[in-house]
């Protein structure tokens, strides 16, 4: 009967040699090694043999099964290698075909810059304080040391509403008074906030000026706040916002609600201070107005200016965004052309 | 203001390059916007960047000061003459010229008193005077109508001083002139264009700038003489002053010059006025302008004889408010209605001038004027501001008075002005001056302890150093126990008498003079305020991130709108669903279609979508912004809204197999619903539901209200077709949502529990139910979930089908169900029991049939 085993062996190994794909290999395995396969069938015949032949025959079939299993694994390994080699050889695609587009979304550039500002200021302990867009004249001007007919009122073209006491804020500074009154505990607690928000000015809309723009104002009030702290804080901001070794220049200036006041210039990050068209060949870019909070403003916020002091600064995120990305036209910001927005 | 450096050098000996001076002025708060070079080279200052100037630099060897000795006729040409010029050479040089202003000297022989010109030798570079476009050229010898010529006398245009090319430069004789001196030393100049912030009223003149220069550089100030030679009869008998409103006119001074001659001013005066952009007129008017710019004290000159005539004798000058309906014809030829608060200069016969702003036509200086009455006064700056706003007029005088001119300057202006007029026009000045000074401002002295300087500036300076900085700005200082008592100089109105504000005023001056760069940079050591949580900001930014992550772009619109456009959101015959509030209305809008603040984001969003439709196949955008609802309070409510808009194709077209031709599906209601539910899921808001929307801007059958804990948060759905059409969006359907951000904040779960991860196996199976077509899907799902009980983990609708073989009026809903027991392996038997319950409940409660 070992002849039967030998026949099956030859037949199976022959067939195995002819398999070339993993499908054929699976078929081969079920034909010979499967539950109802040929080797199994041989095991089924054992019972019909004379008792003295059974052991030898059983051994033969077992050996056959092991051999075929081993041959199968080798063949499988070989075919796997062949398939792999073939795939590597021939399975080339045109990698220059266009990608399938993924649906992307994105934040408005103004939001992006605001976040950059907010996170830098948050690291320095300045938290966001939000205030009204529509303001009382008192808060926008008078309480900020800009009484009616003050010359500096001319610096800001104001949108007035049908209520003569009410206007659209021309800057975020009225939030200074509101923050002091709300958070200051009647002039007894320190404050460190930034006031981001939309501001409005009645101007001709051009590539360089808008009727609506965002501002970020900062305010720190305490018992020992010095002008040197203001310089240190702003320089720290410039280093984090622009460049670790950004040079900063402070110029005396005038804002009714601060004294002393100063403008802050940062070394032009486009030309490295060598002079270019954007910085008008001066090497400097103006980034902020700032100063020590005016004693009158401290008083109007509920603080005694002989005991408390503070500093404030204001920045225009759109301007900084424009500088950073070479945006020539400020109208792009609220124009919301998706061709623009998708570039951020 | 244009400031020639040559003029400033009259008062202070500047020892640094003008470029560096400009930088120092800028840093000290006098922003130099531009430098204009005349003839002089631009200096290279290490470390300083500035725009390169492309002006003509005058060759010191070839462009010279020269005396025009004689003008002779040209033998062959009427329109040319020969100017015989002494440029310091061995012989006179003969220049052929057509300069019209030299012709009058023809045939006079040697010109006396001498005149001087700007002489260019052969080889000199000059501007081409005949070219329309700016073009430089090198002077070459050539024959002009038979006479060889290799040099010339120059016009202002040829030297780059101005566009003037009618005549050549003719300088009046001065003792210091030497033939052959480099022209750059006589006419070379740099003009600084300085911008003044409102606090720098005191600097709005040459002396004002020079004082700052002297203080910043630590140099001595050299004032001009304020003496005047007065040999005439006492002025008191010839004119009187009557001030009726001392608040508005704190001081008024008059001087009188008799028997003078009105004629053109000499070259130096005309030249300076032109350099600062003023047009020379005659010697009297020129002096009033000159003093306005030199001292910052505007002057006004009257024809005294006209005043005599009007009064029928010695006039009385009255300053007063107008009578009802009073009018005045001003120098600019306009007959003006005078506002109630306009302060007037008048005489007994009526108004003469608007105080501090502009003179009247009748009494102005003319060529025939012989006797000049000169006014130098002080006016209330707020009153002047009101007048110039009301009259829409701006003059050099009003520009200064509206910022504030200290009354102490009146008498300086009078004295210097009348003396200059006498020098230029001749005549006799009446003795003394009439000076009415009813309201002198108080002298301000501020006490400033040294420790306050160091505490507020954060620098360590000595008392003497701080006092010295103030003295440089002409403060009088006294030091007493480390306290500086500083008295403001009499040209300043900006130092406050309030002790604390006054200290701040002085601190600024000390910091400016010492230099802001002397203040160190320190880290705030002050107490840190308690940090608050800021959920409003947090959720706003979180919502932005979620929506951007869902493939939407953020837009930011104008917050302005107009009533008509917002009314377009309501279809014909429908009631408006916009907020029941008033608009915040702008009285001076930038445009008539931006005259109110919006009640909704919808109009802006639809307009943005229409604008983008030209370039975009698909638009998926959102905005987070305020709307403005005016109710009973003074200020409107400013709730934050979230607007979401989807329109166009769901996907970009691709070449992918099965997608050829880009036949992508259009976005629809359920895409928008998906955005909203993803947002809610990300915010962990799970108690939400929907009801049919009642908002008239939406399609009534394809819109919904979102409810959070049964409270409405906003409507969403397909924009009503009529509304879409009005916004030019008829081509594809527009899906829009507008939600209250405050509600999202209110209902979001900031602490949510997570589901444990189950390891027991799940059993999945499908079930299809046929129900009446009008049965709501969420009703079917609710029945399934309730009947499925604890073991039914998930229900997903994967097919909605109508049509054969489903009977008419019915629909088939196919769900895939997931059963799972959290604790043990679920048996088929248990799953089958759950399934049976579900089918039973569906039959009973939905009259559903199982689809086989
Ligand atoms: Zn640059």
Say whether B428 sits in a helix, a strand or coil: strand
pLDDT value of residue B200: 94
Neighbours of A177 (CB within 10 A): 25
Q: Is A125 on the interface with B (CB under 8 A)?
A: yes
- Report which of B42, B194, B277 is spatially closest to residue A281, judged by C-alpha positions: B42
CATH class assigned to B2-55+190-217: alpha beta
Instruction: Tell me which residue of B358, B162, B215, B204 sits closest to B291, measured CA to CA.
Output: B204
Q: For residues A58 and B527, give the distance between their C-alpha atoms in angstroms, rounded to a whole number.
A: 92
Inter-chain residue contact A295 with B500, CB threshold 8 Å: yes
Residue in the structure block whose two tokens are 């009977």: B807
Query: If residue A292 lies in a helix (H) or strand (E), which one and from where to where?
Result: strand A284-293
CATH architecture of the domain with range A109-341: 2-Layer Sandwich (3.30)
Name the architecture of domain B445-512: 2-Layer Sandwich (3.30)
- Residues B281-319 have pLDDT tens digits of 999 999 999 999 999 999 999 999 999 999 999 999 999
Render pLDDT for B428-450 as a digit per residue (tens, 0 to 9): 999 999 999 999 999 999 999 99
Return the C-alpha torsion angle B175, B176, B181, B184, nearest 10.
-120
Chain B residue numbers with beta carbons less than 8 Å from the beta carbon of A341 are 553-555
Does residue B382 belong to the interface with chain A, where contact is any CB pair within 8 Å? yes
Confidence label for B660 from pLDDT (cuts 50, 70 and 90): low
Q: What is the DSSP string of B146-169?
A: TEEE--EEPPHHHHTS-S--SS--
Please report which confidence band the pLDDT of residue B658 belongs to, taking 50, 70 and 90 as the band edges: low
Under DSSP, the state recorded for B586 is: B
Separation between Cα atoms, residue B572 and residue A255, nearest integer Å: 52
Q: Are B341 and B354 in contact (CB under 8 A)?
A: no
Distance, CA of B166 to CA of B157 (rounded, Å): 9
Q: Cβ A133–B559 below 8 Å, yes or no?
A: yes
pLDDT of B589 > 90? The answer is yes
Q: For B499-545, write each residue's pLDDT tens digit.
A: 999 999 999 999 999 999 999 999 998 888 988 888 888 899 999 99
Average pLDDT, chain B: 94
Q: What is the pLDDT of residue A46?
A: 85
Beta carbons of B554 and A333 less than 8 Å apart? no
pLDDT band at residue B107 using 50, 70 and 90 as cut-offs: confident
Confidence grade of residue B651 (pLDDT, cut at 50, 70, 90):
confident
Q: Which residues, in sequence order, are bridge partners of residue B148?
A: B143
The token duo for B721 is 């077709």
Pull the structure tokens for residue A195.
Answer: 């006031």
* Dist. CA A290–CA B410, nearest whole Å: 36
Q: Do B521 and A273 touch (CB under 8 A)?
A: no
pLDDT tens sequence for chain A (344 residues): 567 888 889 999 999 999 988 899 999 999 998 888 888 888 888 888 888 888 888 888 899 899 999 999 999 999 999 888 988 988 888 899 988 888 889 999 999 999 999 999 999 999 999 999 999 999 999 999 999 888 778 777 999 999 999 999 999 999 999 999 999 999 999 999 999 999 999 999 999 899 999 999 999 999 999 999 999 999 999 999 988 888 999 999 999 999 999 999 999 988 988 889 889 899 999 999 999 999 999 999 999 999 999 999 999 999 999 988 989 999 999 999 999 999 99
Of A211, A223, A306, the CB nearest to B500: A306
Angle between helix A51-90 and helix A38-45 axes, rounded to 10 deg: 170
Domain ranges in chain A are: 2-90, 109-341
Q: Do residues B437 and B251 touch, judged by C-beta distance below 8 A?
A: yes
Is A98 in a helix, a strand, or coil? coil
The string of DSSP letters for B646-658 reads EEEBSS-----TT
Domain range annotation of chain B: 2-55+190-217, 63-187, 235-436, 445-512, 535-747, 762-850
Burial bucket for residue B5 (CB in 10 Å: 0-12, 13-18, 19+): buried
> For chain A, what is the radius of gyration of the CA atoms?
40
**Partners of residue A117 on adjacent β-strands:** none
Arithmetic mean of pLDDT, B377-392: 94
From the CA of B501, how many Å to the nearest CA of chain A?
Answer: 6
pLDDT of residue A39: 87
CATH of B235-436, one of 3.40.190.10, 3.40.140.10, 3.50.40.10, 3.20.20.150: 3.50.40.10
Cβ distance A105 to B620 less than 8 Å, yes or no, reads yes
Q: Given CB atoms, is B387 within the 8 Å cutoff of chain A?
A: no
* Residue B281 to residue B285: CA distance in whole angstroms: 6
Helix/strand/coil (H, E, C) string of B204-230?
CCHHHHHHHHHHHHCCCCCCCCCCCCC
Q: Which residue has the tokens 């073209």?
A: A157
Distance from CA of B524 to the nearest CA of A (A): 5
Task: Determine the residue among A251, A276, A290, A333 to mutate to test chain B binding: the one whose Cβ has the most chain B Cβ atoms within 10 Å.
Answer: A251
- Integer angstrom CA distances of residue A241 from A271, B87, B752: 16, 61, 36
The pLDDT of residue B145? 87
Q: Are the C-beta atoms of residues B715 and B704 closer than 8 Å to each other?
A: yes
Residues 6+ apart with CB under 8 A from B636: A134, B581, B584, B597, B628, B629, B630
The pLDDT, as a whole number, for residue B749 is 83
Q: Is A224 close to B526, i.e. CB distance below 8 A?
A: yes
CA distance B254 to B460: 49
Residue located via tokens 């403008």: A263
Alpha-carbon torsion (B455, B459, B460, B464), positive or negative: negative
| Strand bridging mode A134-136 / A127-128 | unpaired
- In eight-state DSSP terms, residue B393 is -
Q: Are B157 and B163 in contact (CB under 8 A)?
A: yes
Cα angle A21, A23, A24 (rounded to 5 degrees) comes to 70
pLDDT digits (tens, 9 = 90+) for B169-179: 999 999 999 99
Nearest to B166 by CA among B184, B178, B154: B154
Return the residue of B nearest to A227 by Cα: B457
Is beta strand B698-708 parallel, antiparallel or unpaired with respect to B688-692? antiparallel
Each residue's pLDDT tens digit, B723-746: 999 999 988 899 999 999 999 999
pLDDT of the residue at B655: 81
Looking at the DSSP bridge assignments, the partners of residue B586 are A161
Third-level CATH fold of B63-187: OB fold (Dihydrolipoamide Acetyltransferase, E2P) (2.40.50)
Q: What is the pLDDT of residue B851?
A: 84
Phi-psi region of B426 (alpha: psi -120 to 50; beta: other; left: phi over 0): left
Alpha-carbon torsion angle B308, B314, B318, B324, nearest 10: -50
| B445-512 matches B2-55+190-217 in CATH topology | yes
Expressed in angstroms and rounded, the spacing between residue B194 Cα and the centre of ligand 1 is 22
Q: What is the pLDDT of residue B664?
A: 62
Q: Is the pLDDT of residue B592 over 80?
A: yes
CA of A278 relative to ligand 1 center, distance in Å:
5
Separation CA B421–CA B427 (nearest Å): 9
Q: DSSP of A206-239, one letter per residue?
A: -SS--SEEEEEEEEEEESS--HHHHHHHHHHHHH
Token digits for B417?
């002005």
Q: Is the predicted pLDDT of residue B68 greater than 80, yes or no?
A: yes
Please, what CATH class does the domain formed by B762-850 belong to?
A: alpha beta
Residue A281 corresponds to which tokens in the numbers above?
Answer: 């060949």
Q: How far is A104 from chain B (nearest CA, A)?
A: 4
Q: State which H helix or E strand residue A259 sits in.
A: strand A258-267
Strand order, beta sheet including A127-128: A127-128, A191-200, A212-222, A309-315, A284-293, A258-267, A248-255
pLDDT tens per residue across span B21-44? 999 999 999 999 999 999 999 999
The rounded distance, in Å, linking the Cα atoms of B845 and B851 is: 17
B546 Cβ partners below 8 Å, 6+ apart?
B678, B679, B682, B683
| Top-confidence residue, A181 or B664 | A181
CATH 3.50.50.60 fits B535-747, yes or no: no
């Amino acid at each position: 009967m070992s002849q039967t085993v030998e026949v099956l062996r030859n037949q199976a190994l022959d067939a195995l040699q002819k398999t070339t794909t993993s499908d054929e290999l699976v078929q081969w395995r079920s034909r010979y090694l499967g539950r109802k396969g040929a080797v199994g069938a041989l095991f089924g015949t054992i019972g019909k043999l004379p008792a003295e032949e059974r052991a030898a025959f059983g051994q033969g079939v077992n050996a056959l099964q092991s051999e075929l299993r081993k041959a199968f694994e080798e063949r499988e390994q070989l075919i796997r290698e062949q398939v792999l080699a073939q795939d590597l050889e021939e399975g080339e695609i045109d990698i220059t075909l266009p990608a399938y587009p993924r649906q992307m979304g994105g934040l408005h550039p103004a939001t992006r810059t605001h976040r950059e500002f907010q996170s830098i200021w948050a690291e320095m302990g300045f938290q966001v304080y939000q205030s009204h867009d529509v303001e009382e004249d008192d808060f926008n001007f008078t309480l900020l040391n800009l009484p009616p007919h003050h010359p500096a009122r001319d610096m800001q073209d104001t949108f007035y509403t049908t209520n003569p006491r009410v206007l659209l804020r021309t800057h975020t500074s009225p939030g200074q008074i509101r923050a002091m009154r709300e958070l200051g505990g009647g002039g007894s607690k320190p404050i460190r906030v930034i006031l981001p928000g939309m501001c409005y000015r009645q101007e001709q809309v051009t590539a360089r000026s808008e009727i609506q723009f965002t501002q970020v104002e900062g305010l720190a009030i305490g018992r020992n706040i010095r002008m040197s702290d203001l310089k240190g804080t702003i320089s720290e901001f410039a280093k984090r916002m622009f460049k670790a070794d950004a040079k900063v220049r402070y110029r005396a200036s005038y804002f009714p609600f601060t004294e002393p006041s100063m403008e802050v210039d940062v070394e032009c990050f486009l030309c490295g201070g060598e002079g270019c068209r954007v910085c008008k060949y001066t090497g400097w870019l103006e980034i902020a107005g700032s100063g020590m909070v005016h004693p009158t403003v401290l008083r109007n916020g509920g603080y005694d200016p002989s005991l408390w002091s503070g500093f404030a600064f204001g920045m225009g995120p759109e301007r900084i965004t424009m500088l950073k990305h070479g945006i020539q036209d400020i109208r792009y910001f609220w124009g919301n052309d998706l061709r623009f927005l998708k570039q951020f | 203001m244009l400031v020639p450096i040559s003029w400033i050098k009259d008062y202070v000996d500047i020892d640094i390059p003008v470029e560096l001076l400009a930088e120092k002025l800028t840093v000290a708060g006098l922003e130099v916007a531009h430098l204009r070079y005349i003839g002089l080279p631009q200096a290279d200052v290490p470390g300083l960047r500035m725009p390169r100037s492309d002006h003509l630099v005058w060759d010191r060897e070839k462009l010279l000061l020269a005396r025009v000795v004689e003008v002779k006729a040209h033998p062959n040409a009427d329109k040319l003459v020969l100017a015989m010029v002494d440029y310091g050479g061995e012989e006179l040089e003969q220049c052929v010229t057509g300069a019209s202003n030299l012709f009058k000297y023809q045939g006079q022989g040697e010109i006396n008193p001498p005149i001087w010109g700007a002489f260019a030798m052969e080889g000199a570079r000059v501007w081409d005077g005949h070219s329309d476009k700016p073009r430089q050229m090198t002077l070459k010898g050539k024959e002009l109508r038979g006479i060889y010529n290799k040099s010339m006398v120059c016009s202002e245009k040829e030297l780059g001083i101005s566009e003037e090319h009618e005549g050549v430069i003719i300088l009046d004789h001065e003792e210091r002139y030497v033939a052959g001196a480099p022209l750059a030393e006589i006419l070379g100049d740099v003009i600084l264009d300085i911008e003044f912030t409102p606090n720098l009223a005191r600097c709005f003149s040459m002396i004002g700038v020079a004082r700052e220069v002297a203080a910043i550089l630590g140099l001595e100030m050299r004032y001009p003489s304020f003496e005047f030679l007065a040999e005439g009869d006492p002025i008191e008998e010839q004119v009187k002053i009557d001030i009726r409103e001392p608040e508005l006119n704190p001081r008024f001074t008059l001087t009188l010059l008799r028997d003078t001659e009105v004629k053109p001013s000499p070259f130096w005066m005309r030249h300076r006025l032109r350099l600062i952009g003023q047009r020379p007129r005659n010697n009297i008017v020129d002096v009033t302008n000159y003093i306005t710019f030199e001292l910052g004290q505007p002057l006004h000159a009257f024809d005294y004889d006209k005043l005599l005539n009007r009064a029928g004798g010695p006039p009385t000058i009255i300053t007063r408010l107008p009578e009802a309906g009073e009018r005045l014809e001003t120098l600019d030829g306009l007959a003006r209605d005078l506002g109630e608060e306009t302060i007037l200069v008048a005489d007994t016969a009526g108004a003469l001038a608007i105080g501090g702003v502009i003179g009247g036509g009748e009494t102005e200086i003319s060529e025939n004027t012989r006797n000049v009455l000169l006014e130098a006064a002080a006016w209330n700056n707020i009153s002047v501001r009101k007048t110039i706003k009301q009259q829409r007029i701006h003059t050099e005088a009003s520009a200064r008075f509206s910022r504030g001119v200290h009354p102490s300057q009146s008498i300086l202006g009078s004295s210097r002005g009348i003396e200059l007029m006498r020098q230029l026009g001749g005549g006799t000045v009446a003795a003394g001056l009439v000076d009415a000074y009813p309201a002198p401002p108080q002298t301000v002295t501020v006490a400033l302890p040294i420790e306050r300087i160091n505490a507020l500036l954060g620098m360590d300076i000595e008392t003497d150093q701080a006092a010295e900085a103030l003295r440089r700005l002409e403060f009088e200082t006294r030091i007493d126990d480390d306290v500086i008592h500083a008295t403001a100089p009499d040209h300043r109105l900006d130092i406050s008498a309030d002790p604390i504000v006054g200290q701040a005023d002085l601190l600024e001056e000390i910091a400016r003079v010492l230099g802001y760069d002397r203040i160190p940079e320190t880290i705030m050591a002050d107490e840190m305020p308690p940090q608050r949580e800021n959920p409003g900001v947090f959720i706003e930014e979180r919502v932005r991130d979620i929506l951007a992550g869902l493939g939407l772009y953020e837009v930011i619109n104008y917050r302005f709108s107009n009533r008509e456009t917002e009314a377009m959101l309501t279809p014909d015959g429908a009631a408006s669903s916009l907020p029941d509030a008033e608009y915040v209305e702008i009285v001076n809008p930038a445009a008539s279609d931006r005259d109110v603040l919006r009640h909704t984001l919808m109009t802006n969003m639809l307009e943005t979508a229409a604008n983008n439709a030209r370039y975009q196949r698909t638009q998926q955008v959102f905005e987070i912004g305020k709307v403005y609802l005016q109710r009973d309070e003074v200020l409107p409510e400013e709730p934050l809204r979230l607007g979401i808009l989807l329109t166009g194709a769901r996907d970009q077209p691709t070449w992918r197999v099965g997608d050829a031709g880009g036949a992508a599906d259009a976005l629809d209601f359920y895409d928008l619903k998906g955005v909203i539910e993803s947002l809610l899921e990300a915010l962990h808001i799970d108690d939400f539901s929907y009801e049919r929307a009642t908002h008239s801007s939406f399609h009534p059958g394809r819109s919904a209200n979102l409810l959070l804990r049964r409270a409405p948060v906003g409507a969403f759905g397909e924009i009503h077709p009529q509304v879409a059409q009005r916004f030019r969006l008829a081509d594809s359907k527009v899906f829009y949502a507008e939600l209250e951000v405050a509600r999202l904040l209110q209902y979001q779960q900031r602490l949510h529990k997570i589901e444990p991860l189950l390891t027991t196996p799940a059993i999945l199976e499908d079930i299809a139910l046929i129900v009446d077509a009008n049965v709501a899907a969420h009703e079917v799902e609710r029945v399934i979930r309730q009947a499925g009980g604890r073991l039914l983990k998930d229900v997903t609708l994967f097919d909605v089908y109508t049509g054969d073989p489903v009977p008419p009026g019915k629909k088939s809903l196919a769900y895939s169900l997931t059963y799972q027991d959290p604790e043990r392996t679920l048996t088929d038997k248990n799953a089958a029991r759950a399934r049976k319950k579900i089918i039973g409940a569906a039959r009973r409660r939905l009259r559903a049939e199982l689809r086989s």
